[in-house]
Structure 1
């Protein structure tokens, strides 16, 4: 086989791409992998992992504030500079160690985004390469905004490597990223404004629980401006002036930094997919059940860029395994996406799995909705948590749990038990008859159902 010919060429070095590349190389295939950014992908370098490290100090601060006067006499302060140094202990070694692992398996590494020339040929680093199979695992990237001055906007990458917390931050978009960063920034001492085109944040989550989270977010000092469309951003001497349209009127505000948190989209713009005969939509690359392109059978896709399920790291790894299996053994394994939980790591967490109330009502003849706000329950009361609510949805006929939504401390952990329950088709009685540790957040589930 010629130097520029490969059995498998993987585009993207996140968990999905790594899984495919390693499995194929270990099976004796000639493999190459390319990434335009540092190796290791979004989650480990500039996403979920570093975000959770930064979140750690705000968790301590939130716990201390809740217990101030109840045993805590002095509140801690966040040293953002030292926190960033601590974060680098988790991220700094990722690119080098990832490259070392891949090279150790004989995988050829490229450091540029390839472009399709035809169905099995790519151009990368000025060279033409061909491959029997091409795997696209490029993940997500920030949605591009096109108003005047958009070049002044910062992204989630910039927030995660801020050397100093600005005095005033504006976030354009009230989704996962915008709300998580807003909670971190306001607790780190910044004045925070969130602009959102819709009338509420977090459209994918239960409206009643989101309303409660929004109310608490405002108490923290976060200012929300709903129904606002950003018109322009102008750089001043120290600040940025942001103009926005609301209810037919143009208004403005000033802040030290403006972040684009208007969502993320599949990272496909540089691949020239049209030349590769790879069909795609806003949701990602269109595939069959084997994660193979519907229009070009030489192409597979996995991870966030695939139009299958939620853009979550655990699913990306699973999809990478499915693609590797199908490359090595023929299309023998279909992607089976289980019920997947979702969580926004604000404080308190907001977590969800299964059907929303509206979806459940349209799917089942009759449902039971069990919901309450319970900050008086022991687990919340012992830490003086101001917010703790839930909504559990049952199929009335079978008593099976079909949806679960929790707002409160550790909801991101508790939701995993409810995910298992839904996937296992457990009933309310099944959970109530299970013995959990007590007192624990998970044990509260028995009272919820």
Structure 2
């Protein structure tokens, strides 16, 4: 059978663009459809613009510390509109760059919604139907908005980049990485931030010692927490402000309510059932080790699947699909040693097993820690301390996990993650000469 394309990709985010580019480089005829903007969640409304806001918010702290280093900074002020618009301009630049990548590889792209109509057919919003030997679904995930009265007055991480002004009072519902990152951004920029969460745990899945340290530091920085307190109702006042009922507490006034309670795979209305693609209970697409769905001709990668919701994973999965289908190189992606970071303030980063996970799997483990005050903070009024932690298998001396909180922790962890991936031992770390003076040297000085 002759198809219009060898591969049709639905979704031009990180995974979809990578799969399209690699498939085209193998000689495949490729098309991709994107209903919003080329670049996807990470580039357009996720990790990239959010990290730029983090950088912008860091200047509040840096300028305060400058006087201790001999600098006189007069007339300090902050303009939210300047930061917001600068970030949005960079998003525009990146969209152009991602589009150019598709054009340079002769990938046809349609800026419209596409839905599946069968194992090998897709219908575009224009009404045109096209056929493809293979279909790849890379539509990502969408923020979840809980059902409570007044939720229409709340925003998600999609809208937070477009706020007309910096809010004086922000309520953040949730305590995952998105919630903690935006809580840190607004707190640093001068907003009063209250984090409300339906449980008493923040950053579930990270090592407990890091979570406790982050809670202590952020409370000292002025972030308030209300645990076991889901939002019950939000009312808009005559002056445009909001009144928020959380748990059994008195209502809390706010100017912005940011809901960050998780993301749901973006499969609604895609027509996957017409091709016999099975979905999970949360809309996720179950796939095998080669990213194939229950329909042999349809694949899925990234946040839309039942695996890990991280941009680098989506990129690797998309690359692997293209190599398997058109490069004669089928391979599975390993998910057992994935570094991750939370760009909170201060940031934390982790790779491998937490202490609890290691004890459950290996039983006898050794824990090494370094609890120190970063040199950067010595001249500042902050008494914040960094914490590095190594989790080691007592029987083999192999490092099972590395966990860090402190300035530049994500930048340091990326290199350290290689050690966990390579199954290096604590003796290998001990034999490495320290780079002094640095925070990273703490990794090789724990005894």
TM normalised by structure 2 equals: 0.92
Q: CA RMSD in A?
A: 2.3
Change (3 A) 1:351 1:112: same
1:378 Cα offset (Å): 4.8
Whether the 8 Å CA contact 2:340–2:349 is kept in 1: the answer is yes
Aligned ranges 1:183-198 → 2 under 5 Å: 183-198=184-199
What do the CA deviations read for 1:128-160 (whole angstroms, capped 9, x no partner)? 222210001112211132222222221112222
> 2 CA distance for matches of 1:431 and 1:143?
42
* Counterpart residue number, 2:110: 110
Tell whether 2:178 aligns with 1:177: yes
Q: CA separation in 2, counterparts of 1:222 and 1:302?
A: 36
Equivalent pair of 1:113/1:270 in contact (CA under 8 Å): no
- 2-structure distance, mates of 1:179, 1:77: 25
On the 8 A contact 2:16/2:138 being kept in 1, the answer is yes
Q: What is the aligned partner in structure 1 of residue 387 from structure 2?
A: 389
**What is the CA-CA distance between 1:411 and the residue it aligns to?**
0.9
1:273 aligns with 2:275: no
Decide whether aligned partners of structure 1 residues 163 and 315 sit closer, same or farther in structure 2, where only a CA change above 3 A counts.
same
For 2:439, the equivalent position in structure 1 comes to 441
How far 1:276 moved relative to its partner? 2.4
**Alpha-carbon contact 1:385-1:409 (below 8 Å) kept:** no
Contact 1:348 1:387 in 2 (8 A): no
Q: Within 5 Å, give how 1:194-213 maps onto structure 2.
A: 194-213=195-214
* Structure 1: gaps (5+ residues): none
Given that 1:119 and 1:296 are in contact with CA atoms closer than 8 Å, whether structure 2 keeps it comes out as yes
1:26 and 1:371, CA in 2 relative to 1: closer, same or farther beyond 3 A? closer
Deviates more, 1:66-75 or 1:201-210: 66-75
* Alignment-derived partner of residue 159 in structure 2: 158
Q: Given the superposition, is the C-alpha separation of residues 83 and 211 from structure 1 closer, same or farther in structure 2, using an over 3 Å criterion?
A: same
Give the drift of 1:327.
1.3
Q: Tell me how far apart the structure 2 counterparts of residues 66 and 388 of structure 1 sit (CA, whole Å).
A: 18
Structure 2: runs of 5+ lacking an equivalent: none
- Name the counterpart of 2:244: 242
Output aligned runs, 1:295-314, within 5 Å.
295-308=294-307, 310-314=308-312
CA distance in 2, matches of 1:365, 1:184: 39
Q: For 1:247-301, what per-residue CA distance to the aligned partner results, in whole angstroms no more than 9, with x for missing partners?
A: xx364222111111111222222313222211232383211111111x1111111
Which of residues 354, 370, 373 in structure 1 aligns to 2:368? Answer: 370
Post-superposition offset of 1:366: 0.7
- DSSP-derived class of the 1:352 partner: strand
The residue correspondences of 1:201-240 to structure 2 (distance < 5 A) are 201-237=202-238, 238-240=240-242
**1:72: Cα distance to partner?**
5.1
1:355 aligns with 2:353: yes
Cα offset, 1:231, TM superposition: 1.7
Kindly state the Cα deviation for residue 228 of structure 1 after the two structures are TM-superposed.
Answer: 0.8
Per the alignment, residue 33 of structure 2 pairs with 34
> Secondary structure of the residue that 2:159 maps to in structure 1?
helix
2:429 maps to what in 1? Answer: 431
1:248-263 matched pairs, under 5 angstroms = 249=248, 251-263=250-262
Conserved in 2, the CA contact under 8 Å of 1:32 and 1:107? Answer: yes
| Deviations 1:7-26, CA, capped at 9 Å, x for gaps | 21101111211111122223
Moved more, 383-392 or 268-277: 383-392
Is 1:380–1:388's contact at 8 Å kept on the other side of the alignment?
A: no
1:19–1:320 CA contact under 8 A, matched in 2:
yes
Work out the CA distance in 1 between the residues paired with 2:100 and 2:371. Answer: 50
Q: Which residue of 2 aligns with 1:8?
A: 7
Query: Contact 2:26–2:327 at 8 Å: present in 1 too?
Result: no
Does the CA-based 8 Å contact 2:387-2:406 persist in structure 1?
Answer: yes
Instruction: Determine if contact 2:8/2:132 at 8 Å carries over to the other structure.
Output: yes
Mapped to 1, the partners of 2:325 and 2:392 lie a distance apart of 40
How many residues are treated as equivalent by the alignment? 442
Equivalent residue in structure 1 for 2:399, among 401, 406, 410: 401
TM-superposed CA distance for 1:197, in Å, is 0.5
Match of 1:420 among 404, 412, 418: 418
**CA 1:218/1:173 → structure 2, altered by over 3 Å: closer, same or farther?**
same
